[in-house]
């Protein structure tokens, strides 16, 4: 198995049985060793396979939007969450809300477990209200 990550002129590879010399023969490249960190993603090889996470990026989101002291939860969204546009409550800053949701959407690339919840709150980006902000 070869895992090949390409981004403009930067790339990393994680390989199993394939020999790196074959790649060097075809492409001009430098071997930087085992893949550990690339484009904000941390790669950890375990006996079960390759683990990809963005713990550092998730922490940056929490700090940037003053949510570092929030309590962790088991599910990404409350089971009976009632979110809608007809709720009578104050609006929150839509620019900040869009930045939070945009950051979370980027995080969804490596966190499919939050994809549905982020999609739900994405519906309210034009006129976000206090309950929408709390759901984030």
**Residues 67 and 21 reside in one and the same domain:** no
Task: Provide the residue count of the chain.
Answer: 136
When pLDDT is cut at 50, 70 and 90, the band that residue 23 belongs to is confident
**Residues 16 and 81 reside in one and the same domain:** no
Rounded to whole angstroms, the maximal C-alpha distance in the chain is 65
**Residues 48 and 102 reside in one and the same domain:** no
109-134 pLDDT, tens per residue? 888 899 999 999 999 999 999 888 88
CB atoms within 10 A of CB 121: 22
60-113 pLDDT, tens per residue? 999 999 999 988 888 888 777 778 888 788 999 999 999 999 999 999 988 889
**Residues 108 and 43 reside in one and the same domain:** no
Is it the case that residue 17 has pLDDT exceeding 80?
no
């Amino acid at each position: 198995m070869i895992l090949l990550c390409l981004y403009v002129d930067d790339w990393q590879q994680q390989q199993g049985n394939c020999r790196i010399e074959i790649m060097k023969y075809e492409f001009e490249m430098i071997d930087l060793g085992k893949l550990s960190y690339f484009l904000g993603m941390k790669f950890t090889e375990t006996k079960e396979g390759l683990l990809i996470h963005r713990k550092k990026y998730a922490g940056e989101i929490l700090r940037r939007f003053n949510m570092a002291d929030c309590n962790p939860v088991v599910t990404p969204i409350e089971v009976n969450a009632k979110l809608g546009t007809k709720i009578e409550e104050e609006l929150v800053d839509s620019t900040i809300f869009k930045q939070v949701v945009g950051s979370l959407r980027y995080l969804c690339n490596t966190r499919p477990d939050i994809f549905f919840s982020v999609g739900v709150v994405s519906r309210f980006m034009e006129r976000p209200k206090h309950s929408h902000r709390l759901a984030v």
